[in-house]
Amino acid sequence: MFYRSHVLVCGGTGCTASQSNEIIKQFEKLLEDNNIENEVKVVKTGCFGLCEKGPIVVVYPEGATYSRVTPDDVKEIVSEHLVKGRIVKRLLLGEKEAEDVSKALEDVGFFKRQHRIALRNCGVINPENIEEYIAREGYLALGKVLTEMSPAQVIDIIKKSGLRGRGGGGFPTGLKWEFASKPQADQKYVCCNADEGDPGAFMDRSILEGDPHSVIEAMAIAGYAIGADKGFIYVRAEYPIAVTRLNIALKQAKEYGLLGRNIFGTDFSFDIEIRLGAGAFVCGEETALMTSVEGKRGEPRPRPPFPANKGLWQKPTILNNVETYANIPAIILNGPEWFSGIGTEKSKGTKVFAIGGKINNTGLVEIPMGTTLREVIYDIGGGIPNEKKFKAAQTGGPSGGCIPADKIDTPIDYDNLTELGSMMGSGGLIVMDEDNCMVDIAKFFLDFTVDESCGKCPPCRIGTKRMYEILEKITEGRGEDGDIEKLELLAKNIKASALCGLGQTAPNPILSTLRYFRDEYEAHIYEKRCPAGVCKALLRYVIDEDKCKGCSLCARKCPVNAISGELRKPYHIDQSICIKCGACMETCKFGAISKV
Amino acid sequence: MSCSCGSTCVDPKAQELQKVIEKYKNTKGAVIPVLHEAQEIYGYLPLQVQKTIAEGLDVSLAEIYGIVTFYTQFSIYPKGKYNIQLCLGTACYVKGAGQIYDRLKQELGLDKDGTTKDGLFSLESCRCIGACGLAPVMMINGEVYGRLVPDDIPGILQKYRDAE
Ligand SMILES: Cc1cc2nc3c(=O)[nH]c(=O)nc-3n(C[C@H](O)[C@H](O)[C@H](O)COP(=O)(O)O)c2cc1C
Ligand code: FES
């Protein structure tokens, strides 16, 4: 069983004396009352060593440590934190006392289940306290790099580890650093991509919120490797907590001399600034991101020149994803062989996935590369709700594709997913069941790209719109022979001619659904039927005369008065009025209404 | 901004904006951070504010306007008293956020994102607010409503109408 939250309640002598058993009982009762007892697990632990502040309650995954909790406080923790996801600030433990607790928490079984490298500190330490990070070997890698290694050696270790970019492309990180280390320049930059644009993915946010220092440390290491003294973290403005934590972390790192001038007494200096995004998906693309940091409209620019030669303000620049960075300190400390020993032949290490959609345990997991989709969905994710059939999993967001049910045993790695016509992407994994219409999903993603296309290049600006219109036509029952072919032709041309990754990958959701679910497209076009029962124009709600008891409930529920009839006689739906909201079907107690 | 009392009093918001501009004046790539803070002060970015920023940072108004309209976070219109952000991210969409959106539009009398005539509500579809576990999700002035079904909508809106 995988829970979205764990509530750890101290059961030490001191805390038990101050009612921690009562607290546990209260949690259990309130969780049940809120129907979240299957999502949140209450665990009684040994002493946290903070008896003076007891009873202590730690809620994971956020790692919020509540102190002096009384049974009366539990209600607030449950309703605010566990139901709404908002930490109860009033009860939070001050920073000082939380030092040194990290080690004890590491041994909790929950964390042993996953292979946590990028998430190694998330939920384990207090992210707002640099000392806890340091206590877990934080900034040790930076110290080692600065005092014992040459930049070339650092690059060599990253290359040997086999680490590939976690932001989507999967480009070898060591190689990227090497390219940027070559050119001579008066100024170079290190950038971090925390734009996390894939809707439904929140891995990077969790790392920034749970372990901001690991990213800061890694950026400094990268700066040393390529010869840069300035870094930028580009964060979505939609992530206020992450931004706050980053700001705190930067301030503390500067205070401790781990950022700034002459770090560790060497002549290496490095500083980091935060830049906020402003809600444009295309700004996740590397050249657009740099244009946005420069303070302009975030439009991509053609490559070459590549950022390694001419990036931010035309200076050599590297850009890596948050999760990519989070792996770096661990690789430096444990060695490249350790890292390359995990995973598959061409995909090393682990990957964090945000699992969502039609799955029992929505959440964040870090798994070794090569884990099968089946394990993720059934063993970790707890399967599909309501005994529905698994239909497909979508990875790679609007640039990706889907993996159908018959490929569920494919080990997840970069190359396998690409071969299946999907991609690793940044780690969003959306599960779909038999009730999801694949044409509708393709349309959903195209709607997204049309919306987010920056408009600079015509293939993307106009082409995605044309594809969207065809999909709209098909889902509204106006599809005609030749539409599929037209989609395929457009897709091919857009892929070949769009300026940046957004346009080049925009056709993927269509191509991938066409590859595995062509029959659904055909049913829409030729039979004017939506097999999953989603596309409204192709649906009719009908009342089965034999089952209808004439109770009139549906007629009263119908928002547009499309249902009429006489009491105790079968009712009837007027298709010309019906707006296909489905309210009648939900209300009928006799199962007399169905979609056809 | 402008007021009718002549030049004797100072608009505190304008003062605050000036401070922000001063702070960023010598920063490379300052426009976007300044716009963020300006929007925080005014709630949106009316033309006058854009003009002030253009002058303060010595960039053309056209460039500022181009940036403001490029990014969805920046708004040149005032929002409703209650801003409804409905998540249309993938996780929410596969769990029926589309129906919630339809119902919201129906209840608010809007045909797409926008502000109601009385200025009480504005509807804004967004992509993933990070509460995917509660999908489908919406947020009204920061308050999260999760696991929505279309029939929840009238009651939730009524709560805000009643508060008026
Ligand atoms: C349209 C588009 C959106 C992207 N969005 C993101 C994103 O949100 N986060 C991210 O890390 N990379 C994103 N990327 C990939 C980046 O361009 C870049 O490859 C990546 O940040 C490099 O870091 P990595 O090598 O560590 O993965 C996006 C690419 C494209 C084409
Ligand atoms: S997709 Fe809606 S909250 Fe993430």
State phi, psi for A66 to the nearest 5 degrees.
-100, 135
Smallest CA separation from ligand 1 atom 9, residue: A196
User: What length does chain A have?
Assistant: 596
What mean pLDDT comes out for the span A259-271?
96
Report d(CA A230, CA A212) in Å as an integer.
17
Give every CB contact of residue A582 below 8 A, 6+ residues apart in sequence. A541, A595
Contact assessment for residue A266 and residue A226, using Cβ atoms and an 8 Å cutoff: no
Architecture of domain A135-339: 3-Layer(aba) Sandwich (3.40)
Which segments of chain A belong to CATH 3.30.70.20? 540-595
Tell me which amino acid residue A284 is.
G
Give pLDDT, residue A13. Answer: 46
Q: What average pLDDT is seen over chain A?
A: 89
Q: Report in angstroms the alpha-carbon separations of B147 from A11, A60, A456, B95, B121.
A: 33, 21, 38, 9, 21
Residue closest to A360 by CA, chosen among A383, A391, A387: A383
Domains parsed from chain B with CATH numbers: 12-70 (no CATH), 82-162 (3.40.30.10)
Q: What are phi and psi of A273, to 5 degrees?
A: -120, 150
Geometric angle at alpha carbon A318, from A317 and A319, rounded to 5°: 125
Pocket test for ligand 1, best of A178, A321, A351, A446 (most atoms within 8 A of CB): A321
Does A325 touch chain B if contact means CB atoms closer than 8 Å? Answer: no
Residue of chain A whose alpha carbon sits nearest to that of B88: A199
- Tell which residue, A397, A430, A424, has the closest CA to residue A410: A424
Output the CATH code of domain A540-595. 3.30.70.20
**A202–B128 CB contact, under 8 Å:** yes
Contact A278/B at CB under 8 A: yes
B127/A358 CB distance under 8 A: no
Count of CB atoms situated within 10 Å of the CB of B57: 17
Contact A122, A132 (CB under 8 A): no
Token representation of residue A371? 């884990």
Residues with CB under 6 A from ligand 2: A 199-200; B 87, 89-92, 128-132, 135, 137
Facing B132 at nearest CB: one of A200, A237, A394: A200
Please give the structure tokens belonging to residue A427.
Answer: 């780690």
Please state the pTM of the whole predicted model.
0.83
Question: What tens digit of pLDDT does each residue of B43-84 get?
Answer: 899 999 999 999 999 999 999 999 999 998 899 988 899 999
Angstrom distance (rounded) from CA A496 to CA A433: 32
Q: Which residues in chain B are closer than 8 Å to A279, comparing Cβ atoms?
A: 71-73, 126
Residue ranges of chain A that CATH labels 3.10.20.600? 350-433
Let me know the angle formed at the C-alpha of A252 by A246 and A256, rounded to the nearest 5 degrees.
145
**pLDDT per position as a tens digit, B19-36:** 999 999 988 889 999 999
Q: How far, in whole angstroms, is CA A552 from its chain's centroid?
A: 45
Distance CA A490, CA A12 (A): 66
Which residues of chain B are within 8 Å of residue A583 when distances are taken between CB atoms? 150-151
The three-class DSSP label of residue B1 is coil
Chain A residue with minimal CA distance to B72?
A279
A-chain CB neighbours of B91 within 8 Å are 199-200, 356-357, 362, 428, 430
**CATH level 3 topology of A438-526:** de novo design (two linked rop proteins) (1.20.1440)
Please indicate if any CB of chain A lies within 8 Å of the CB of B73. Answer: yes
The lowest-confidence range among A49-63, A91-105, A356-370, A506-520 is A91-105
Q: Say yes or no for a CB contact (<8 Å) between A428 and B90.
A: yes
Domain A350-433 CATH assignment equals 3.40.50.620: no
Identify the burial level of A434 via C-beta atoms within 10 angstroms of its C-beta, where 0-12 means exposed, 13-18 middle and 19 or more buried.
middle
How far is A299 from chain B, CA to nearest CA, in Å?
9
Contact B87, B47 (CB under 8 A): no
Indicate where chain A has its CATH 1.20.1440.230 domain(s): 438-526
pLDDT at A94 over 60: no
Q: How confident is the model at residue B7 (pLDDT cuts 50, 70, 90)?
A: low
pLDDT of B131 reads 66
Cβ contact A237:A195 at 8 Å: no
**Which of B36, B37, B75, B94 is the mutation pick for testing A, counting most A CBs within 10 A?**
B94
Q: Does B141 touch chain A (CB under 8 A)?
A: no
Q: Kindly determine whether residue A363 and residue B133, on different chains, have CB atoms separated by under 8 Å.
A: yes
All residues of chain B having their beta carbon less than 8 Å from the beta carbon of residue A202 are 128, 130, 132
Query: Token pair for residue A270?
Result: 């490095």
CB within 8 Å of B100: residues ≥ 6 apart? B86, B136, B138, B148, B149, B150, B153
Inter-chain contact A292–B32, Cβ cutoff 8 Å? yes
| pLDDT at position A114 over 50 | yes
pLDDT band of A516, cuts 50, 70, 90: very high
Looking only at the bridges linking them, the beta strands covering B82-87 and B138-140 are: antiparallel
Whether residues A362 and B129 touch (CB distance < 8 A) is answered with no
In this complex, the residue of B28, B73, B90 whose CB is nearest that of residue A199 is B90
Please tell me the predicted confidence (pLDDT) of residue A487: 97
Give the relative orientation of helices A322-334 and A212-226 as an angle to the nearest 10 degrees: 70
Q: Which residues of B touch A428 (CB under 8 A)?
A: 90-91
Ligand 2 centroid distance, CA of B105 (Å): 19
Q: Is the ipTM of this complex over 0.90?
A: no
pLDDT digits (tens, 9 = 90+) for B115-129: 999 999 999 998 877
pLDDT above 80 for B94: yes
A189 and chain B in contact, CB less than 8 A: no
Whether the Cβ atoms of residue A289 and residue A298 lie closer than 8 Å to each other: yes
Model confidence at A100, pLDDT cuts 50, 70, 90, reads very low
Residue B6 has pLDDT above 90, yes or no: no
* Angstrom distance (rounded) from CA A312 to CA A232: 10
> Which of A247, A271, A276 has the most B C-beta neighbours within 10 Å, making it the best mutation to test the interface with B?
A276
Q: What's the pLDDT tens digit per position in A207-232? A: 887 789 999 999 999 999 999 999 99
Q: Which residue CA neighbors atom 25 of ligand 1 most closely?
A: A165
Residue B76 phi, psi dihedral angles, 5° rounding: -100, 0
The shortest C-alpha distance from B118 to chain A (Å) reads 24
Output the pLDDT for position A50. 53
User: Which residues of chain A have a CB within 8 Å of the CB of B21?
Assistant: none
| pLDDT at site A92 | 80
Q: Which chain A positions have a beta carbon within 8 Å of B132's beta carbon?
A: 200, 202, 354, 356, 362
pLDDT tens by residue, A175-186 = 999 999 999 999
CATH of domain A5-112: 3.40.30.10
All residues at 6 or more sequence positions from B6 whose CB lies less than 8 Å from its CB, including other chains: none
Q: Tokens for A475, please give them.
A: 């889902």
CA A220 – CA A325 distance, rounded (Å): 10
Q: How far apart are CA A448 and CA B128, in angstroms?
A: 12
Residue having the nearest C-alpha atom to atom 4 of ligand 1: A284
Strands (DSSP E) found in A336-492: 350-357, 363-368, 390-395, 401-404, 428-433
Query: Which B residues 110-129 touch A at CB under 8 Å?
Result: 126-129
CA atoms within 13 A on the CB side of A517: 27
Strands A40-45 and A390-395: unpaired
Picking from A2-16, A273-287, A314-328, A578-592, which range would have the lowest pLDDT averaged per residue? Answer: A2-16
Residue A543 sits at the vertex; the CA angle it makes with A542 and A545, to the nearest 5 degrees, is: 140
pLDDT one-digit tens code per residue, A122-140: 656 667 789 879 988 999 9
| B154 at A interface, C-beta within 8 A | no
Tell me the one-letter amino acid at B105: K
Question: Of B73, B74, B127, which has the smallest distance from its Cβ to A199's Cβ?
Answer: B127
**Percent composition of chain A: helix, strand, coil (DSSP 3-state, to 5):** 45, 15, 40
Residue B159 pLDDT greater than 80, yes or no: yes
**Strands laid side by side in the A317-321 sheet:** A271-276, A230-235, A189-194, A317-321
Q: Which range has the worst mean pLDDT, A35-49, A364-378, A478-492, A538-552? A: A35-49
Chain A residue closest in CA terms to B32: A295
Ligand nearest to the CA of A85: 2
